[in-house]
Amino acid sequence: MEADVPGTVLKRERTRDAVLELIESRSPGDAIPSERALCSLLGVSRPTVRAAVDELVATGLLVREHGRGMFVAPAKITQELVAGDRALTVPQAAGAWSSRLLEFTTLQAGARVGRKLRMSPAAEIVYVARLRLVDGAPMAIEHLHIRAELVPGLSAQELESGDLYEHLRTTHGVHVHEAVQAIEPTVVTRAEAKLLDVPELSPALLFERLTSDTAGRPVEYVHSLYRGDRYRIVSRLALGPAAEVAPDREGHHPGIPPGDFAHGDAITSSTRGDIQAGA
């Protein structure tokens, strides 16, 4: 790195790129040189190095540990969106996923959820909140709202031990057909930050999904909050015909219990407005 590169912004950008190269040459958990050492190595000032490092910490590529130094952050969980012929298919995300139940209750839908599920605000829904973990680390908070009339007798144990949509099919005769899902950036509240083990107001991804059955009846409304520092979305666009490949059915869909849509049901992606329009 040249010390006399004109322009503060350019200096910071080149410093960031140099530190990024160091990160990419190492493995998660490996240490990188201190800010003082980076100043000497790159020939730039301490504020320039700090600004670049702060940006990489904020984006989840570096981790600062007080009294120990800076380390390469754990690899992000990548969710790929693939445009197919009929719909936008969603291959499952990587990692060993598990859940911790936070709340399970039956209550009135209320105005907002009632509009989305096209039911009376006084009608009952099953509300489920759970913490999703990857390799034991908190990754997301999911809030599920299901028409109570469709799942009489549903228990927390049933929900956690099996495929919800398979349970709907085999036990209640409800055949899930389509999900419209939106994704947008947000930040976490204090309570959410505590559950996800991140600082308050940390960046996050908000997933909202409305699931319908074969008759077009809304079955379930879900909104989920995923850590912005550990989760990313990658889109693969089909630009021409290709041989049909059977999708991998094991893993995790964002906001969708493992094993869901295992029978070829379509998943579509849209904007937040599309979800609201479908309510």
Give pLDDT tens digits for 195-212. Answer: 999 988 888 998 999 999
- Check whether 174 has a pLDDT greater than 70: yes
Lowest model confidence (mean pLDDT) among 78-87, 167-176, 265-274 = 265-274
- At 256, the pLDDT band (50, 70, 90 cuts) reads low
Lowest model confidence (mean pLDDT) among 13-17, 115-119, 123-127 = 13-17
pLDDT of residue 247: 58
- At 277, the pLDDT band (50, 70, 90 cuts) reads very low
- Check whether 262 has a pLDDT greater than 80: no
- Long-range CB contacts (within 8 A, 24+) of 21-27: 23/56, 23/61, 23/62, 23/72, 26/72, 27/72
Give the integer Cα–Cα distance in Å for 136 and 167.
Answer: 26
pLDDT of residue 81: 60
Sign of CA dihedral 17, 20, 22, 25: negative
- At 9, the pLDDT band (50, 70, 90 cuts) reads low
- At 235, the pLDDT band (50, 70, 90 cuts) reads confident
Higher pLDDT, 46 or 1: 46
- At 140, the pLDDT band (50, 70, 90 cuts) reads very high
Provide, rounded to the nearest whole percent, the portion of the chain with pLDDT above 90: 42
Higher pLDDT, 63 or 260: 63
pLDDT mean over 72-97: 63
Q: φ, ψ for residue 214 (rounded to 5)?
A: -65, -20
Nearest to 53 by CA among 63, 44, 43: 63
Q: Pseudo-torsion of CA 134, 66, 41, 230, nearest 10°?
A: 20
pLDDT mean over 213-232: 92
What's the whole-model pTM score? 0.65
Unique residue bearing structure tokens 């759970």: 130
Lowest model confidence (mean pLDDT) among 182-191, 200-209, 234-243 = 234-243
